């Protein structure tokens, strides 16, 4: 009877309630939890910790097969100074002077204002009426010119002869270059034209006491790939003015 009573009492005790997130013998954690970061440090220190190496990225645009060079500083010996200047109106007249050019080149530049004339020209219309008319326009006087001649004073050999009009160009501004050395005779003449002519030479090599001389203006002339010929600074040409009647 005692054994039966003990079994009845034991059957009335409810078993323990298990948690749905708990498993006996293991630890269950939330599936969305982030696992902790584990850092392993060596017990023996063989290195010294420093800041990681920084790589500098060059963001400049590379050149495409060419190099950029700085402009060279001009030498004082290459400086040219004005040794002669004249401003005048030419009417079949001129002027001349001599200069012993020991250290060429010599530069001669000019700026001219030619005389204009008005000319008339008859024309026939290309339209069906074939009407005839006269057009008047303004252009350079064919008789106006400026001529600059540089020759050897002793032999008469011409080193340069150029200018405006005649068989020359119609540039209003030009720069001429003389490469020969010697005792020069420079002649300037013209007709129906006014202008300013400047002559330049290097003080160095042409004057014995060039360091003690005073010039009104000096400059450095650029080099030209065609040193034996003249080249134009400006390419101005006559622009006709058309009027119809």
**pLDDT tens, 205-236?**
999 998 888 999 999 988 654 433 333 333 34
Q: Are 110 and 200 contacting, i.e. CB atoms less than 8 angstroms apart? A: no
Extents of the domains making up the chain: 80-239
The string of pLDDT tens digits covering residues 53-74 is: 555 555 556 556 666 667 678 7
pLDDT confidence band for 124 (50 / 70 / 90) = confident
pLDDT digits (tens, 9 = 90+) for 167-200: 898 889 999 999 999 999 999 999 999 999 999 9
Tell me the pTM: 0.61
Query: Around Cβ 78, how many Cβ atoms within 10 Å?
Result: 11
pLDDT tens track for 141-175: 999 999 999 999 999 999 999 999 988 988 899 99
Where does the pLDDT of residue 52 fall: very low under 50, low under 70, confident under 90, or very high at 90 and above?
Answer: low
Report the pLDDT value the prediction gives residue 88, as an integer from 0 to 100. 95
- H/E stretch holding 136: strand 132-140
Q: Can you tell me the distance from the alpha carbon of 76 to that of 202, in angstroms, rounded to the nearest whole number?
A: 10
Q: Please state, in angstroms and rounded to a whole number, the distance separating the CA atoms of residues 221 and 228.
A: 15
pLDDT of residue 151: 96
Residue 75: pLDDT band by 50, 70, 90 thresholds?
confident
Q: How far apart are CA 240 and CA 138, in angstroms?
A: 5
Confidence of residue 242 (pLDDT cuts 50, 70, 90): very low
| Main-chain phi, psi angles of 217, to 5 degrees | -160, 145
The third-level CATH classification (topology) of the domain covering 80-239 is Jelly Rolls (2.60.120)
The Cα 200–Cα 190 span in angstroms is 21
Q: What is the pLDDT of residue 230?
A: 39
Q: DSSP secondary-structure letter at 19? A: P
Residue 125 is encoded by which pair of tokens? 């219309």
Q: Select the highest-mean-pLDDT range: 26-30, 118-122, 164-168, 227-231.
A: 164-168
Q: At 84, is the pLDDT very low, low, confident or very high (cuts 50, 70, 90)?
A: very high
114 to 88, 90, 111, 186, 202: CA distances (angstroms): 12, 10, 10, 22, 31
What average pLDDT does the chain have? 76
Looking at the chain, the whole-number percentage of residues with pLDDT higher than 70 is: 60
């Amino acid at each position: 009877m005692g054994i039966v009573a003990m079994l009845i009492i034991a059957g009335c005790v409810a078993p323990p309630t298990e948690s749905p997130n708990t498993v006996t013998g293991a630890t269950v954690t939330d599936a969305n939890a982030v696992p902790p970061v584990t850092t392993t440090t060596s017990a023996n220190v063989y290195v010294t910790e420093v800041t990681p190496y920084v790589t500098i990225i060059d963001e400049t645009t590379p050149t495409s097969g060419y190099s950029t060079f700085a402009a060279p500083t001009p030498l004082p010996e290459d400086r040219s100074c004005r040794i002669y200047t004249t401003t005048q109106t030419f009417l079949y007249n001129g002027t001349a002077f001599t200069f012993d050019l020991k250290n060429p080149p010599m530069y001669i530049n000019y700026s001219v204002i030619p005389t204009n004339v008005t000319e008339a020209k008859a024309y026939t219309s290309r339209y069906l009426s074939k009407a005839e008319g006269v057009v008047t326009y303004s252009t350079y006087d064919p008789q106006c010119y400026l001529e600059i001649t540089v020759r050897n004073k002793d032999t008469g050999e011409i080193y340069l002869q150029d200018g405006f009009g005649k068989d020359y160009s119609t540039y209003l501004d030009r720069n001429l270059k003389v490469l020969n050395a010697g005792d020069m005779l420079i002649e300037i003449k013209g007709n129906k034209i006014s202008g300013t002519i400047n002559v330049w030479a290097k003080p160095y090599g042409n004057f014995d006491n060039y360091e003690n001389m005073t010039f009104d203006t000096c400059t450095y002339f650029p080099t030209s790939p065609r040193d034996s010929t003249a080249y134009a600074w400006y390419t101005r040409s006559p622009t006709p003015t058309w009027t119809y009647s």
